Amino acid sequence: MSPSTASIRVRLTGWYSVVLFLMMGVYATATFVAVRHEFLEQLDDQLHDDFETAEGFLAPASDGRIAWSSDRHHDPDNDEERGSDVWSASGEPIYRSSASAVLPPAAIAAATATPRYESLVTNGRRWRTLTGTSLVGGRAVVLRVSRSEDRLRTQLWEILVVLVLGLPLVVALAGIGGYALARGALMPIDHLATEARRITADRLHERLSVPNQHDEIGRLASVINDTFARLESSFDQLRRFTTDASHELRTPLSVIRGIGEMGLKETRTPAEYKEALGSMLEEVDRLTTLVDTLLRLSHGDAGTVRLSPEPVDLSQLARDVVSSLGILAEERNQRLRVDAVEPVSITADRLVLREAITNVVDNAIKYSPRSSAIDIRVYQEGDHAMVAVADEGPGIAAEHRQRIFDRFFRLDEARSRDAGGAGLGLAIARWAVEANGGEISVDSRTNGGSVFRIVLPLRVPTVAEFPPLLGTGPAEKLATGFKAAVNELGRAKSSSATKQ
Amino acid sequence: MSREMPAREVWREPRRATPLDNVIDVQMTRLRKKVDTDGGPRLIHTVRGVGFVLRGGEP
């Protein structure tokens, strides 16, 4: 069925009327059949009474013949509607009333002691008859009483007319009533539509009015209002993001411009030019990193980042991150403590997850005071793997905890800029964790620091056994890499020394 | 040597990210402390915006 263009109330009324018509039709038919049956039964009862009355009119006359002697009160003779006929057992007519004279004679042979009902049609008129034998003075006669069905037919016809004409009338009236009801019931929806249309992107703060939030319309309005609220918050987020991103991109650009202008103002020494170009390149670098990060985040939003899940030992991953970032903590005289001995195996994209942990740990190092301790704990809890990074930093006020994972959100503008961040580290971390089906949250510790918790689903690795970790850990790699670099340096130093 | 080189070769990271940049800088500072001992010629130079260069003799 193709979607109807008619409004709900028209369709509702249509269906309602059709159903009502069918129901009323069945009802009317049943009524008519019952009435007709009842009428026919009454007619037969009357015939039965007539039969008994007629029997009373028969009496043997003085000459030995049976005679018909109706009295004045019960004279059926002048009645056009009914008649009585009497025959002798040999078929000789004894009495025939005028009305029933048109009827064919009764079949004498078929007449029995038990009265028999019969319908006859003569000259287009229907008659109902009752035929039976009766003993009058010891002699059997055949007696037939009959009544015309004319009056009964007329009555039935009138009832039929009333029913047939009344049916559409009733359905039409009910349809009008139903339409009015449906209109009344659906009116609030029209209101909602009008109100909802009024709320555009510029007026997202407006809400639909909810007259009664417990009825169906009220619930609908509440749901729509919730949607508007979410829409508004996404819009706000987007607006904020755009503003922040423009701001972040502007800053390096204006620095580059400033350096260029300074360089051109007067003639400088080659060293000064080099310095200026270096500064510009640094800013370009910063800009590139920022744009790269934003691109990655927007790819993440668009869902175009393809993850390659593999079995990952979360403990091993945490130890890798710590060994790689440990040097930063060392510089600040902080202690990085790792409690990740038991292997916790999950299925995740190793690189993306590593990025998440790296950003959270780096964040902790950056914002914790010198000489404090940072605890990293990896453990399994139920069917979840947990990474908890606890620091002794200043903590995060409750009202900021939701927004701390937002892009460009900074608690302390001046300080974090010094630390070299653009306010994207935790946003990346959140994206990376959520891409792997997990959640990230932050809590305050009783002693003032914060705890970042990464919760990841503990999926059973599809590979029965972990593949042996390729080569050695990053710490070792770092060591060998630097050993090679130092060797090279040593060679260069000696060669330059020989040159001199 | 740009910062990308150690990032790729030592840490096996396909991208450069802020934490890693800081790590590389700190490692280079330490390396310099070890290599450029007092009195000797400076060998490791930072070229701003580019990376590091190993060069004897002139500043």
Distance CA A448, CA A454 (A): 20
- Chain centroid to CA A196: 20
Backbone angles phi, psi at A395, to 5 degrees: 80, 170
Q: Are A350 and A335 in contact (CB under 8 A)?
A: no
State both tokens at A238: 């987007």
- Which of B10, B30, B48 is nearest residue A477 as measured by Cβ atoms? B10
The reply to whether B28 touches chain A by the CB within 8 Å rule is no
Q: Which residues of A touch B11 (CB under 8 A)?
A: 324, 474, 477-478
The reply to whether A496 touches chain B by the CB within 8 Å rule is yes
Pairs of CB atoms within 8 A across A/B = 92
- Chain centroid to CA A359: 39
- Which of A280, A324, A496 is nearest residue B23 as measured by Cβ atoms? A324
- Which of B11, B35, B43 is nearest residue A324 as measured by Cβ atoms? B11
The pLDDT tens digits of the residues spanning A7-37 come to 888 888 899 899 999 999 999 999 999 999 9
Residue A454's pLDDT band, with cuts at 50, 70 and 90, is very high
Put simply, the answer to whether B49 touches A277 (Cβ < 8 Å) is: yes
Q: How far is CA A59 from CA A62, A77, A85, A88, in A?
A: 10, 17, 14, 13
Q: Pick A470 or A410 by higher pLDDT.
A: A410
Q: What is the mean pLDDT of residues A302-311?
A: 81
Q: Quick one: which of A328, A487, A473 has its CA closest to B34?
A: A487
Q: What is the mean pLDDT of residues B18-42?
A: 79
- Which of B19, B30, B50 is nearest residue A325 as measured by Cβ atoms? B19
Put simply, the answer to whether A289 touches B18 (Cβ < 8 Å) is: yes
Q: Does residue A183 have a pLDDT over 80?
A: yes
- Chain centroid to CA A143: 79
The reply to whether A323 touches chain B by the CB within 8 Å rule is no
Backbone angles phi, psi at A55, to 5 degrees: -55, -40
| pLDDT recorded at residue A4 | 58
The reply to whether A358 touches chain B by the CB within 8 Å rule is yes
Q: Which residues of A touch B20 (CB under 8 A)?
A: 324, 358
For the ranges A199-213, A441-455, A476-490, which has the lowest average pLDDT?
A476-490
Crossing angle for the helix pair B18-35 and A314-331, to the nearest 10 degrees = 50
| B10 Cα to chain A: minimum distance (Å) | 6
Q: Are A64 and A176 in contact (CB under 8 A)?
A: no
- Give residues with Cβ within 8 angstroms of A69, minimum separation 6: A57, A59
The reply to whether B57 touches chain A by the CB within 8 Å rule is yes
Q: Is A133 exposed, middle or buried (0-12, 13-18, 19+ CB in 10 A)?
A: middle
Residue A342's pLDDT band, with cuts at 50, 70 and 90, is confident
Backbone angles phi, psi at A127, to 5 degrees: -125, 150
A328-347 residues touching B, CB cutoff 8 A: 328, 331
- Which of B23, B50, B57 is nearest residue A325 as measured by Cβ atoms? B23
Q: How far is CA A384 from CA A315, A387, A436, A483, in A?
A: 14, 10, 13, 40
Average pLDDT, whole number, for chain A? 81
Distance CA A375, CA A389 (A): 6
Q: Does residue A108 have a pLDDT over 90?
A: no
Q: Which residues of A touch B15 (CB under 8 A)?
A: 292
| A380 Cα to chain B: minimum distance (Å) | 27
Distance CA A163, CA B54 (A): 110
- Which of A279, A355, A478 is nearest residue B10 as measured by Cβ atoms? A478
Q: Does residue A305 have a pLDDT over 90?
A: no
Q: What is the DSSP string of A463-480?
A: SSSPPPPSSS-HHHHHHH
Average pLDDT, whole number, for chain B? 77
Distance CA A131, CA A116 (A): 5
The pLDDT tens digits of the residues spanning A248-273 come to 888 889 989 999 998 888 888 988 88
Distance CA B14, CA A494 (A): 34
Q: Which residues of B touch A485 (CB under 8 A)?
A: 31
Q: Are B26 and A332 in contact (CB under 8 A)?
A: no
A418-457 residues touching B, CB cutoff 8 A: 420-422, 425
The β-bridge partners of A148 are A127
A494-500, long-range: CB < 8 A, 24+ apart: A496/B41, A496/B43, A496/B56, A496/B57, A497/B56, A499/B56, A500/B56, A500/B57
SS3 A368: coil
pLDDT > 70 in chain A, percent: 86
Strand A335-339 relative to strand A373-381, pairing:
parallel
Q: Does residue A76 have a pLDDT over 60?
A: no
Q: What is the mean pLDDT of residues B20-41?
A: 80
Crossing angle for the helix pair A150-198 and A216-265, to the nearest 10 degrees = 20
Q: Quick one: which of A341, A418, A409, A340 has its CA closest to A376?
A: A340
Which residue in A273, A478, A498 has the most chain B C-beta atoms within 10 A of its own C-beta, making it the best mutation to test that interface? A478
Residue in chain A lying closest to B31 (CA): A486
